[in-house]
Amino acid sequence: MKITAVQSKNPKTLGRLALYLLILGLSFSEQASAATVTYVGSETGSPGNNYSVQNWSNAGVTKVYDIGGNEVYGSSGYVQIRPGPTNLYQGSADGNNLGVGAATNPTLLSRPIFISSVTGGAGDFVNFGGYSDFRGPDGSAIYRQGALAVAVNGGPYSPEGIPSSYFGVAMHFTVDAGSYFRVGFAVDSLGASGTSAPAPYAPDYVGLYSSSTGTKVSSLLTRDGSADMAFFDIDTRGDSLSTNFDVALWQKDSGALPGSAGLSLVTFDAIPEPSTALLALVGMGCLAIHSRRRR
């Protein structure tokens, strides 16, 4: 009863309260407490889903983890590692530029505005007959998809409870503060022939590491020569400084020939946030409810 009396006698107080709540809502929409990485899920490109991973840029193929409503991965940027028709084997030193500007089969790169740097880990560029066909960034052109294959010899470690595993770092990238986006990593495009093990150049897991978030690892992937894509959401809206990430490819058994794994494609998609207009409508709705109660 006392609360009802206050509401009847102090409508201005209620208006101020609703305004304060609206301001707080706007504030929290712009901020997060700290940088976070969340594993979203994985998608396999197979005949049953019209090779959704390989058709990453084709809007005519439905995608499980599309967030922009356009059925395209990489709407904010991409790194398609050395696709092309030419057989390729080329060693590379740590800190490479992922083959951007290479004379043969150059990497196709469109760096998002929220990523300040992208470099490759120590590994070999590979692209041979029998590897998967992928769409190019234009959604039309078809390439035989290459990869940066790295030695999987770090460890053994067991991040986030996965079995004792070994890893190799395939890529590094730096995320600007205040960013919120989904990143996808395509692997298992290198075929399964040539050794006794199935798809030996594929990882069992894909992981992301930074000093502030630790290691976040995907669920177990299937090493069968069918392209897989692992997706993570990265949120640095609560940070004041940029964050450096390592992309690691993990295998459960370092003894499985040849003890290396390849990364073929990385996509970046900004995650839409609630608009200021939507929050304003919520605030006005609260005011309307309180006004009706006063009457």
CA nearest neighbour of 166 among 41, 260, 38: 260
Domain-embedded: residue 14: no
DSSP 200-264: TTS-SEEEEEETTTEEEEPPPPP-SSS-EEEEEEEE-TT-SS-EEEEEEEEES-TTSTT-EEEEE
Domain-embedded: residue 10: no
Q: Say if residue 160's pLDDT is above 70.
A: yes
Domain-embedded: residue 96: yes
Per-residue pLDDT of 1-20, as tens digits, reads: 333 333 444 555 445 544 44
- Residues of the domain holding 235: 33-272
> How many distinct structural domains can be found in the chain?
1
Q: Inter-axis angle of helices 276-294 and 2-9, to 10 degrees?
A: 110
Average pLDDT along the chain: 83
Domain-embedded: residue 254: yes
Per-residue pLDDT of 198-253, as tens digits, reads: 677 899 999 999 999 999 999 999 988 899 999 999 999 988 899 999 999 999 87
Dist. CA 163–CA 217, nearest whole Å: 12
- The confidence score (pLDDT) of residue 114 equals 97
- Name beta bridge partners: 118: 173
Q: Say if residue 31's pLDDT is above 70.
A: no
Of 28-32, 118-122, 149-153, 271-275, which gets the smallest average pLDDT? 28-32
- pTM, rounded to two decimals: 0.82
- The confidence score (pLDDT) of residue 33 equals 54
**Nearest-5° Cα angle at 120, 243 to 156:** 80
Domain-embedded: residue 21: no
Domain-embedded: residue 22: no
Q: Where does residue 247 fall: left (phi above 0), alpha (psi -120 to 50 degrees), or beta otherwise?
A: beta
Domain-embedded: residue 172: yes
Percent pLDDT > 70 in the chain is 77
Per-residue pLDDT of 135-148, as tens digits, reads: 999 999 999 999 99
Per-residue pLDDT of 177-203, as tens digits, reads: 999 999 999 999 986 654 445 677 899
Dist. CA 174–CA 246, nearest whole Å: 9
